[in-house]
Amino acid sequence: MTVGPVQRDDATAEFFDATAAGRFLLRRCPAGHIGEPAATQCTACAATDLDWVEAGGGASLVSWAVSWSRPADGDEPRKTLLAIGELDEGPWWWTLLACDLPPDAAELVPGRRLRIAFRRADAEHEAVPVFVLA
Amino acid sequence: MTESSFPSPGMRGLGPRTWPASSRPVIAGLGMTSLGKVYGQTSARFAADAVRLAVADAGLGLADVDGLLTSSGMAGGISIDLQRDLGLKDLRLLSHLQAYGSTAGAMVQFASMAVMSGTANVVACVFADSPLRPEGSAGAVYGSRRVPAGWWGLLGASGVVGANPMYALAARRHMDRFGTTSEQLGHIAVAQRDWAALNPAAQLRDPITLADHQASRWIVEPFHLLDCCLVSNGGIAVVITTAERAASLAQPPVHVLGWAQSHPGRYLRRSPDFGLVSGAAAAGPAALAMAGRRLTDVDVAELYDCYTFTVLLTLEDYGFCPKGEGGPFVASGVLGPAGKLRLNTGGGQLSGYYMWGMTPLSEAIIQARGGGGARQSAAHDIVLVSGNGGVLDHHSTLVLASEAGAG
């Protein structure tokens, strides 16, 4: 279960600078509302002068799914556990849940505690946030 | 004129019922190219063919067309240049629309408003797509070819690629909240295949069982292969005109009684409703109110079915069953040709053909006309049509009626 390669662009440069250092950044408006990293306007008050603020890294499971990919060489399907996590600061985040498969479905209940971690496809590409079981 | 002298817009809006009968909107033509594994044509050619077929079906000529609305799928390749391909002169309405799976319903709405207002009199609306290639799967077209970068690249790098994972996450949330099961979703797949067996235009017509559904390979759990729609090449067009104009044309008129859209604005945002309630919950009642009809008046429902789950959620949101009870409802024997609910009577996108919102719309027109052959619903005066796009993010509803149903 690995992340794919991703490159930065102008909008994501600061975010990926942070993930490289093991930090997950969110947006914060002057009134203190917290938004998702990609936000360019505060969802609560429409402010556009947003700062970056570091997330604590804790999250709760919202939903999960298991993606099966078929390798072209006919090998066994590769399974990737995906999750939506609600960050403790409020925003949701969509990424893979890095844990040993097969997942114990009984453990994957809404509210299950998760933690943000980081993985790279390779040294050439950016560090990608993933969830791990807390 | 004071503000209070305007009719109240409200839920009913200034719908067709408030208009003189002669200028109310009618679907007068339907054109469908060969659909499915049809190779060697561009999307633009499918679109042009579909418009020519729809105009001929209505008993009109291309010179009668004075409005054109175009839309395209993921493969693109269609634009307002279709006017040139079709040799259309002096159009009074021309636009390319994109609201994903809700586009077809939206086009009918805009075309209806255009003919009601006299902006145009004969409006062709078309969708076409050609994602399938003879060699290999459609994944190459439906997936991303771009170098992954930025926020979208990050989502893909995180393992969330395309619609399948997002809808699976939505369905899982419904399962966790309400106890919905994969077997219950399977009832929708089986019933629609039974309908498809009666539809000569359907791509998949061999009956399947619930066991087949459960045994079909996982795409993204909780979705099996048989929870997911087809991929199809082809084009479908409809022609909208006024009731007055339609009266002397070739086909039984299909009246557009009511409509609504809903775009909740939740995509990739925290949302308590994710997977539990879609825009259908707002658009369905609003469209019925505009039409002056109740849900119990609906004879046939053609609901957008990119996944089995989309059907289940839309049934709940429209009020065919209480919220959260979609699973037991679809498993209760109401579905399929032997059930009491006339739902996705052509096999839908799961088994019929995948033309985005044109799939439910085309089957709705066929049913409202009474032209469904072996799958025709005996009662077909009021037909409810849904369109859904994004990840349950964009919804359109149409309430259609036969001549008898429009009275």
User: Using one digit for the tens of pLDDT, what is the confidence trace for B103-131?
Assistant: 999 999 999 999 999 999 999 999 999 99
> Chain A within 8 Å of B135 (Cβ-Cβ)?
no
Identify the pLDDT of residue B8: 45
Residue A3 inside a domain? The answer is no
> Chain A within 8 Å of B217 (Cβ-Cβ)?
yes
Mean pLDDT computed over every residue of chain B: 94
Q: What is the pLDDT of residues A29-88, one digit of tens each?
A: 999 999 999 999 999 999 999 999 999 999 999 999 999 987 777 778 888 999 999 999
- Residue A34 burial (10 A CB sphere; 0-12, 13-18, 19+): buried
Considering chain B, what percentage of its residues have pLDDT values greater than 90?
91
> Distance between CA B263 and CA B328 in Å, rounded?
28
Residue A6 inside a domain? The answer is no
> Chain A within 8 Å of B273 (Cβ-Cβ)?
no
What are the angstrom distances between the C-alpha of B89 and each of B52, B81, B171? 15, 12, 47
Identify the pLDDT of residue A70: 79
> Chain A within 8 Å of B222 (Cβ-Cβ)?
yes
Q: Under CATH, to which class is B161-229+255-407 assigned? A: alpha beta
Dihedral pair phi/psi, residue B288, rounded to 5°: -65, -40
Identify the pLDDT of residue B229: 97
Which domain covers residue A24, as residue numbers? 13-133
- How close B270 comes to chain A (CA, Å)? 5
Identify the pLDDT of residue B137: 53
The pLDDT of residue B138 is above 80: no
- Beta-carbon contacts of B196 under 8 Å, excluding residues fewer than 6 positions away, are B202, B203, B204, B205, B346, B347, B348, B351, B352
Q: Searching chain B, which residue's CA lies closest to the CA of residue A36?
A: B269
Residue A4 inside a domain? The answer is no
pTM: 0.95
> Chain A within 8 Å of B274 (Cβ-Cβ)?
yes
The pLDDT of residue A13 is above 90: yes
Identify the pLDDT of residue B398: 98
Residue A7 inside a domain? The answer is no
Q: Under CATH, to which class is B14-129 assigned? A: alpha beta
Q: Searching chain B, which residue's CA lies closest to the CA of residue A122?
A: B157
Identify the contact set of chain A against chain B, taking CB-CB distances under 8 A: 1, 3-9, 11-12, 36-38, 43, 62-68, 77, 80, 82-84, 86, 90-92, 94-96, 109-110, 121, 125-126, 128-130
Instruction: With beta carbons less than 8 A apart as the criterion, state whether B317 and B324 touch.
Output: no
Where are the domains positioned within chain B? 14-129, 161-229+255-407
Rg for chain A (alpha carbons), in Å? Answer: 16
Identify the pLDDT of residue B24: 97
Residue A18 inside a domain? The answer is yes
Entry field: residues in chain A: 134
Entry field: residues in chain B: 407
Residue A2 inside a domain? The answer is no
Rg for chain B (alpha carbons), in Å? Answer: 20
Tell me the two tokens of residue A61.
Answer: 């499971």
- Residue B151 burial (10 A CB sphere; 0-12, 13-18, 19+): middle
- The answer to whether B267 is a known catalytic residue is no
Contacts 24+ apart (CB under 8 A), B207-214: B210/B183, B210/B186, B213/B182, B213/B183, B213/B185, B213/B186, B213/B189, B214/B182, B214/B183, B214/B186
Structural domains in chain A (count): 1
Which SS3 state, helix, strand or coil, does residue B251 take? coil
The answer to whether the CB atoms of B218 and A77 lie below 8 A apart is yes
The answer to whether the CB atoms of B176 and A65 lie below 8 A apart is no
Q: What is the pLDDT of residues B342-390, one digit of tens each?
A: 999 999 999 999 999 999 999 999 999 999 999 999 999 999 999 999 9
Complex-level ipTM beyond the 0.85 threshold:
yes
Identify the pLDDT of residue B141: 54
- Residue A102 burial (10 A CB sphere; 0-12, 13-18, 19+): exposed
Residue A87 inside a domain? The answer is yes
Helix, strand and coil in chain A, % to nearest 5: 10, 40, 50
Catalytic residue chosen out of the listed positions B100, B304, B307, B353: B304
The pLDDT of residue A99 is above 80: yes
Mean pLDDT of B60-66: 98
Mean pLDDT computed over every residue of chain A: 93
Q: Kindly indicate the confidence band of residue B145, based on its pLDDT and cuts at 50, 70 and 90.
A: low
